[in-house]
Chains A and B, each alone.
Chain A
Amino acid sequence: MSRINKNYIVRAKNLTKRFGDFTAVNQINFEVEPGEIFGFLGANGAGKTTAMRMLTGLLKATDGDAHVAGHSINGSPEKVKYSIGYMSQKFSLYDDLKVYENIRLYGGIYGLTGKQIRSKIEDILEELNMTALRNKLVRDLPLGWKQKLAFSVALVHDPAVVFLDEPTSGVDPITRRSFWELIYRAARRGVTVFVTTHYLDEAEYCDRVSIMVNGVIEALDTPQKLKEKYHARSMHEVFVHLARKEQ
């Protein structure tokens, strides 16, 4: 097990995606450590979703490579898939399946045994305080609960990394806070969390933050250091400073 990326759970090297003439992601490089909460910020169209789609195997990289959980996204994408969880911004559970049926389905998709699935269902319901709701259809749950459930389901196979694509869009600040508590709990268990968001207050919760502008990573550091570097009081000011510079 002597891998160069031993200390990094995600490592992108000159990762590039071009659509025709347009370069959406331009030779980005970064590393994420195990157990880290890594914020991936950028304005709409900055390329963060494209980058994430390459890391999760939804898009093929035009150039460069990335290693996720020790496997190359170009060389062994299938192995990458077993090591990652993914929660999309379009909320991704099945509305017309019951709470426990959703958990069972995704457990089955990731190849868990029947016994593992049964104990996972209990664990998740207990962690989310949803034991009474196990037989409810997901469409009858409030949005905040659905998002929490979607997050837990993305972790059903205990992946090393979980990718969250704007997981909290559309919910109130209090619900967002409790969602972030789930994220912290997962990180404490050693799961690496790779999260994109539009809410800059959420950027403050991350261990490290990268800010993408026009397909390149313009800044990457802890929120504290970024604020010092740009003489800003909040991440919001940092973000506006960087985004405006480009215009």
Chain B
Amino acid sequence: MKVLLSLIKKEFYHIIRDKRSLLILVGMPIVQVVLFGFAISNEIHEAPIAVVAPNKSQKVLRLLERIEVSSYFHIVRFLESGGQLDEVFKEGEIKLVLLIDKDFSRDLGQRKTAKLQVIADATDPNTATTLTGYIEAITNRFAREGFSPLPVGKQMPPLIDINVKMQYNPSLRSVFLFVPGIITVILLLISAMMISITLAREKEKGNMEILLVSPLNPVVIVLGKVLPYVILALVNGWSILLLGVWLFGVPIRGDLVLIFGEMLLFVLTALSLGLFISTKVQTQQAALMISLIGLMLPTIILSGFIFPIESMPLPLQFISHLIPAKWFLIILRAIMLKGATLHYVVKETIILGIICLVLLGLAVKNFKTRLE
């Protein structure tokens, strides 16, 4: 026990005295939270649009007013005709052009179908889809309730009245989605990447041999290497969680103890990966490359952290099942945002547990053969 403590102390000296690892441990989480929280965002806010309205009647102006006050759009230009469209899009500022038919008011007044054309710059398909969706919603509502030719009480009831509610995240803030993702990536970074690198370093510099010649039990040696990173990973995970709550108002609706337990399970899985990698490589460089390319990249792309798994081609969807981060992300989002109890995430937890056991088994087996 005393030996274990002195090994852990030594590991903390390594971390504190190495600027690179200190930067990864302290700088990375903060940068990620700020980057994903503030800069990278799927939300639309005051998107600049242009309007073609040959006939600026009162009804048209009221519609435009609706669009302007929505805070999703900002009308920056009025165009003479649709002919300028190409030119406007090429300039790049304007993402969407609204063409209002010259008979718009008349048709609406006569309860005929009023014509409106929406043209979006689809070089960025995601933004284009979102923008047109918002425009549609605003104009539909305008047509239904905002403009009514009949006096109150004699309105025709709409045939289907769709009432959309965005459950768990009513204002559709993407930071709610990103905070669990960042936690996942940071936990993996520290538990898998840092552990594989620090073990590879011990091997590369020949210290591992000395430790193995000593009377220390190999289990103690590994624990002494691994525990500091487990502690750091958990501290970091919770710091991001708190940052998310304080800075962005990310809700934690579920049980904190459950979150802690699931985090521990994921950290254990990640460190098994780190151990496994370290048994396969001889140098820190190799450990770093394998961790980055073989671990971080697939995790960020295939775990559902940024890109939805549902929209991936089938082979990639299949691969994503093998990525532990995917399951942890599902679990964490469910607990944090939906307030799910263990009952609801038991399937994902079991899958994660199985992956963990397999990886841990592989790591231990490889570690042993190396000692032989």
The B-contacting residues of A in range 97-129, CB under 8 angstroms, are 97, 101, 104-106, 108-111
Contact (Cβ within 8 A) B10 A111: no
Known contacts A58-B212, A60-B372, A92-B209; A111/B3 CB under 8 A: yes
Q: Kindly supply a per-residue 1/0 record for chain A positions 64-106, scoring 1 wherever the CB is within 8 Å of any chain B CB and 0 otherwise.
A: 0000000000000010011010111111101111000100111
Contacts of B210 in A (CB 8 A): 86-88, 92, 106
In the complex, A45 has a CB within 8 A of chain B: no
| B14 cross-chain contacts in A, Cβ below 8 A | 94, 96-97
**Chain A 4-47 residues near chain B, CB threshold 8 A:** none
Q: Which residues of B contact A96 (CB under 8 A)?
A: 13-14, 17-18
Is residue A57 contacting chain B, with contact meaning CB distance below 8 A?
Answer: yes
Closest A residue by C-beta to B209: A88
Cα distance A108–B210 when bound, in Å? 14
Binary B-proximity of A53-64 (CB < 8 A = 1, otherwise 0) = 000111110000
Q: Is the CB of B207 within 8 A of A109?
A: no
Contact, CB under 8 Å: A84 / B213 = yes
Contacting A at CB under 8 A, from B198-216, are 205-207, 209-216
Q: Select from chain A the residue with minimum beta-carbon distance to B213.
A: A86
- Cβ A94 vs Cβ B10 within 8 A: yes
| Bound CA span A59–B371, Å | 7
Partner of B213, one of A56, A90, A95: A56
Closest to B211 in A: A109
Interface residues on A, range: 20 to 34
Per the bound structure, the CA–CA distance linking A87 and B17 in Å amounts to 25
Q: Are B207 and A105 in contact (CB under 8 A)?
A: no
Contact of A94 among B207, B212, B214, B372 (CB under 8 A): B207
Q: Please name all residues of chain B whose beta carbon is closer than 8 Å to the beta carbon of A108 when the two chains form the complex.
A: 2-3, 6
List the B side residues contacting A110 at CB < 8 Å: 214-215
Q: Which of B203-257 contact A (CB under 8 A)?
A: 205-207, 209-216
List chain B residues, Cβ under 8 A from A101.
10, 13
B217 smallest CB distance to A (angstroms): 9
Give Cα distance in the complex from A86 to B211, angstroms: 10
B106 to chain A, nearest CB (A): 80
B205 & A90 in contact (Cβ 8 Å cutoff): yes
Q: Which residues of B contact A87 (CB under 8 A)?
A: 210
A109–B218 Cα distance when bound, in Å, is: 12
CB A153 to nearest CB in B, in angstroms, measures 9
For the complex, give the distance between the alpha carbons of A184 and B216 in Å.
29
Query: Once the chains bind, are B209 and A86 in contact (CB under 8 Å)?
Result: yes
Complex Cα–Cα for A60 and B212 (A): 13
Interface residues on B, range: 20 to 34
Contacts of B213 in A (CB 8 A): 56-58, 81, 84, 86
Nearest chain-A residue to B4 (Cβ)? A108
A92 to B204, alpha carbons, bound, how many Å? 10
A57 to B213 alpha-carbon distance, docked (Å): 6
A17 to chain B, nearest CB (A): 11
Does the CB pair A90–B6 fall under 8 Å?
no
Scan residues 10-25 of chain B and give those whose CB is less than 8 A from a CB of chain A: 10, 13-14, 17-18
Closest chain A residue to B17 by CB distance?
A: A96
Assess A109 versus B214: contact at CB under 8 Å? Given A58-B209, A92-B209.
Answer: yes
What A residues does B10 contact at CB under 8 A? 94, 97, 101, 105
Chain A residue at minimal CB-CB distance from B18:
A96
Instruction: Assess whether B13 is in contact with A97, with CB atoms less than 8 Å apart.
Output: yes
Q: Check if A104 sits within 8 Å of B209, measured CB to CB.
A: no
Q: A88-B209, A90-B206 are in contact. Are A81 and B215 (CB under 8 A)?
A: yes
| Cβ contacts B1-44/A at 8 Å (1 or 0 each) | 01100110010011001100000000000000000000000000
Given contacts A58-B212, A81-B215, contact A91 B6 (CB under 8 A): no
CB contacts under 8 Å to A, within B81-118, are none
In contact, A59 and B372 (Cβ under 8 angstroms): yes
CA distance A3 to B14 in the complex (A): 45
Smallest distance from the beta carbon of A26 to chain B beta carbons, Å?
A: 19
CB pair B206 A104 closer than 8 Å: no
B214 to chain A: closest residue by CB = A109
The smallest beta-carbon distance between B221 and chain A, in angstroms, is: 9
Closest B residue to A117 using CB positions: B6
Contact of B209 among A78, A90, A95 (CB under 8 A): A90
Complexed CA–CA distance, A29 and B250 (Å):
71
CA distance A97 to B10 in the complex (A): 8
**Alpha-carbon distance A96/B372, docked complex (angstroms):** 29
Q: Which residue of B7, B18, B214 has the most chain A CB atoms within 10 A of its CB atom? A: B214
Beyond A59-B372, A94-B10, A101-B13, whether A109 also contacts B206 by CB under 8 A is no
Whether B206 contacts A88 by the Cβ 8 Å rule is yes
Chain B residue at minimal CB-CB distance from A97: B13
A92-B372 CB under 8 A given contacts A57-B213, A82-B215, A97-B13? no
The interface residues of chain A lying within 8 Å CB-to-CB of B209 are 58, 86, 88, 90, 92
Q: List 22 A-B contacts (CB under 8 A).
A: A58-B209, A58-B212, A59-B372, A81-B213, A81-B215, A84-B213, A86-B209, A88-B206, A89-B206, A90-B206, A90-B209, A91-B206, A92-B209, A94-B10, A94-B207, A96-B17, A97-B14, A105-B10, A108-B2, A109-B3, A109-B216, A111-B3
Residues of A within 8 A of B (CB): 56-60, 78, 81-82, 84, 86-92, 94-97, 101, 104-106, 108-111, 137
Given contacts A96-B17, A108-B2, 6 further A-B contacts (CB under 8 A): A81-B215, A90-B205, A92-B205, A94-B14, A96-B13, A101-B13
Which 7 pairs show the lowest CB-CB distances between chains A and B?
A90-B206, A108-B6, A86-B213, A81-B215, A96-B17, A92-B210, A88-B206
